[in-house]
Amino acid sequence: MSLFEVRNLSKKFGGLNVTNDVSISLNPGDRIALIGPNGAGKTTFVNLVTGHIRPDAGVVMIAGQDVTRLSPRARVHAGLVRSFQVTRLFPEMSPEEHVAMAILQRMGKVEKAFGDYRSMPEVMAETAEILGILNLTPIARSRVSGIAYGQQRLLEIGLAMALRPKVLLLDEPAAGVPSSDTVLIERALDRLPPDLAVLMIEHDMDFVFRFAQRVVVLAAGTVIFDGTPAQVAADPQVREAYLGSYAE
């Protein structure tokens, strides 16, 4: 039994098959890249899996539990966490508050109506550790609306770390980040726990090759390839899907 299993997932928007009978499974420690041209349905796949969109058919299982009908929130509690392609953060809050809130949620204390997280040593210690790993300590108390986009992307990863998921879905974690800063994102991903299963959507093939042991290619909602990074560049179907743009 896999840690995370998606079976025969399908979704139509209007007449368009955006997700077409997609099956993927992940084991603990997996590092998988999901690639495919723009509009292939990668983000929709993530939305279906996390419960932000309802699938027409298919099953999503986490550690043997069928979560297909659960709310996004319940799936987080089952161990499934995602990041967003376009950063979704709370503009008026600081990185410290973001990470602390995620930790409080994980500890089951986020609804406490008394006390201040800054007076909770265990929350503060972990928050400081995560912000330190991400090099966000200097701006820990700035408003997120005022920090650089690359730092916001790092904070998205920080939120995922704070939730300690079993399965992490990263939707283009480096999108919009200047190439000089992608190394920071890569370094942050290197610090993720080794037994965590990660599926990352990414366009930069050099990054994909460094990160993933396995690559899944999606084109027009269909999985057209599932194999090692070494094989993917040579696959004729993949070449065609990309019209040669990534194939060397």
Site for other proteins in 65-104 (CB under 8 A): 71-73, 76-77, 81-82, 84, 88-93, 97, 100-102, 104
Q: List interacting residues with ligand ADP (CB under 6 A).
A: 13, 18, 36, 38-44
The two structure tokens encoding residue 49: 């899996």
Backbone dihedral region of 22: left (phi > 0), alpha (psi from -120 to 50 degrees) or beta? beta
Task: Please identify, using beta-carbon distances, which residue of 85 and 137 lies nearer to Mg ion.
Answer: 85
**3-state SS, residue 18:** strand
Task: Please identify, using beta-carbon distances, which residue of 43 and 50 lies nearer to other proteins.
Answer: 50
Helices first, then strands: H and E counts in the chain: 9, 10
Q: Any contact of residue 206 with other proteins (CB under 8 A)?
A: no
Q: Any contact of residue 172 with other proteins (CB under 8 A)?
A: no
Question: One symbol per residue from 8 to 47: x for binding Mg ion (CB under 5 A), - otherwise; what is it?
Answer: ----------------------------------xx----
Q: Compute, in degrees rounded to 10, the torsion defined by CA atoms 43, 48, 50, 52.
A: 90
The values of phi and psi at residue 102, to 5°, are: -65, -40
Task: Please identify, using beta-carbon distances, which residue of 1 and 114 lies nearer to other proteins.
Answer: 114
Interface pick for other proteins out of 136, 159, 219, 232 (rule CB under 8 A): 159
Which option in other proteins, ligand ADP, Mg ion, none does residue 194 bind, with CB closer than 5 to 8 A by kind?
Answer: none
* 192 and 199 Cβ atoms separated by less than 8 Å: no
* 152 and 106 Cβ atoms separated by less than 8 Å: no
* 12 and 56 Cβ atoms separated by less than 8 Å: yes
Q: Any contact of residue 149 with other proteins (CB under 8 A)?
A: no
Binding site for other proteins (CB under 8 A): 50, 52, 71-73, 76-77, 81-82, 84, 88-93, 97, 100-102, 104-106, 109-119, 159, 163
